Structure 1
Amino acid sequence: MSEYPPQTRLSRIQDIVGVFVLSITAVLTAWCGFESSKWGGEMSISFSQASSARIQAASAEGEARAAQQFDLTVYAQWVLATADGDTELAQYVQDRFSPHLTTAFDAWQADGMHDNGPFVREEYLPPGEVEAAELNDRADAKFAEALESNQRGDNYSLLTVLFALVLFLTAMSQRDIRTWIGRVLLGLALVVMVVAIGILLTFPIKI
């Protein structure tokens, strides 16, 4: 014969299951808090990198604008000399074109000077323009990473709420209430825990 009557055995099983659920849920809650913190750190790093890239891009854009302004000034002198028919002065000015303006200018002349000046040519790339574009792209990518990390941290935070619900239901099932109510609460806790664990398994992990 069994040492305990059926009702007592069921109560003991319920107690054991309750302790098991509480233990597992406590560990998973701590894990979700850890992951939420890690993804929050990743978000901060990505935002910082995005901000740094924006600052560098602004600096590169400033360099490109300064170079373009200088090229425009020199080119204007070439236009004036050419208009006055002073070929010697025009050649003197042309010899002092910056390398990137010279490249665009030669391509412009080779095409019969149909475009509205060498500055509209794709060959014209003042220093800093390419770097600025690359840095802006990097800033956009890091900003997107920061938003993604923030969402992942929020997802883990939401899971802590689900696991807190499991703890609440399990704790309530252990109180001095009607037996069937306790079992229903424990059953709900198990269902919520299984669902939460299923969701947790789909989340990325950051160590």
Structure 2
Amino acid sequence: MPEGSSHGTHSPDVRDIVAVVLLSAMAVLTAWCGFQASKWGGEMSIAFSQASSARVQATNFDGQARDQRQFDLTVYASWVEAKAAGEDELAAFIEERFQPDFRVAFDAWQAQGADEGGPFVQDEYVPTGTTEAAEYSARADEKFAEALESNQRGDNYSLLTVLFALVLFLTAMSQRNIAAWASRVFLGLAMIVGLVGIVILLTFPIKI
């Protein structure tokens, strides 16, 4: 057989091998991207659930603090009325009924000369539930941000799935009964797109 014929039969075999390897690799990577997209989707759902739960807790504690403030306002109003009426014994009796959180602020207000601002504007006044409400609200915001980030990561993997599907398409086109130069072009494009996809894939976080 002439030497030229030998080269003519060898080249398609090499392209076939490259195409098979490329198809196999892209199939695995496509499955991997689908798996990762699913995992990050699960993480998104969990984070959204945790954010919702934390938001409910924050609302509950905020309601507790609001009720505490309302109670303190009512008792304080009674104390003011007793003091204004000169009923010191009644005022002292009411003071004994102050809640601990309000008592701290009331004492601080008294130590500063009992100015017109009142005990409720004191930094020491922190009704029960205020701190917890702030903590749970911050946790809800954090988990919501995590959910959005996980959602974006899942979308990124889904986009890579489309990219690798394009590689499969180009590789399949290179195997069609077309001109040799067209086959090489399709296969070359498939290799370039696949390499770009792999490089991008290496930058993505992995969830097992």
- Map of 1:6 onto structure 2: 7
- How many residue pairs are counted as aligned between the two chains? 206
Deviation for aligned residue 1:116: 1.1
Deviation for aligned residue 1:86: 1.1
Say whether 1:76 aligns with 2:72.
no
Greater Cα shift, 19-28 or 4-13: 4-13
- Map of 1:170 onto structure 2: 171
Q: CA 1:115–1:186 in 2, change beyond 3 Å: closer, same or farther? A: farther
Give the aligned residue type for 2:44: M
- Map of 1:129 onto structure 2: 130
Task: Tell me the secondary structure at the aligned position of residue 157 of structure 1.
Answer: helix
- Map of 1:90 onto structure 2: 91
Give the aligned residue type for 1:102: R
- Map of 1:54 onto structure 2: 55
Whole-Å Cα distance in 2 between the matches of residues 103 and 84 of structure 1?
25
Deviation for aligned residue 1:120: 1.0
Identity of aligned residues (%): 66
Whole-Å Cα distance in 2 between the matches of residues 168 and 110 of structure 1?
80
Is the contact made by 1:115 and 1:121 (CA closer than 8 Å) also made in structure 2? no
- Map of 1:195 onto structure 2: 196
Aligned residues: CA RMSD: 1.2
Give the aligned residue type for 1:20: V
- Map of 2:161 onto structure 1: 160
Is the contact made by 1:36 and 1:153 (CA closer than 8 Å) also made in structure 2? yes
- The structure 1 segments of at least 4 consecutive aligned residues displaced by more than 6 Å after TM superposition are none
- Map of 2:140 onto structure 1: 139
Deviation for aligned residue 1:115: 5.2
Whole-Å Cα distance in 1 between the matches of residues 129 and 167 of structure 2?
57
Give the aligned residue type for 1:160: T
Whole-Å Cα distance in 1 between the matches of residues 27 and 60 of structure 2?
50
Give the aligned residue type for 1:145: E
Q: TM-score, normalised by structure 1?
A: 0.97
Say whether 1:30 aligns with 2:31.
yes
Say whether 1:105 aligns with 2:113.
no
Whole-Å Cα distance in 2 between the matches of residues 46 and 203 of structure 1?
19
Whole-Å Cα distance in 2 between the matches of residues 185 and 60 of structure 1?
63
Is the contact made by 1:61 and 1:128 (CA closer than 8 Å) also made in structure 2? yes
Greater Cα shift, 183-192 or 104-113: 104-113
Give the aligned residue type for 2:117: N
- 1:43-97: CA deviation from partner (whole Å, max 9, x where unpaired): 0000000000011111111111111111110000000011111111111101110
Greater Cα shift, 46-55 or 83-92: 83-92
Is the contact made by 1:108 and 1:115 (CA closer than 8 Å) also made in structure 2? no
Q: CA 1:63–1:177 in 2, change beyond 3 Å: closer, same or farther? A: same
Q: CA 1:81–1:25 in 2, change beyond 3 Å: closer, same or farther? A: same
- Map of 2:180 onto structure 1: 179
Q: TM-score, normalised by structure 2?
A: 0.97
Structure 1 unaligned spans of 5+: none
Structure 2 unaligned spans of 5+: none
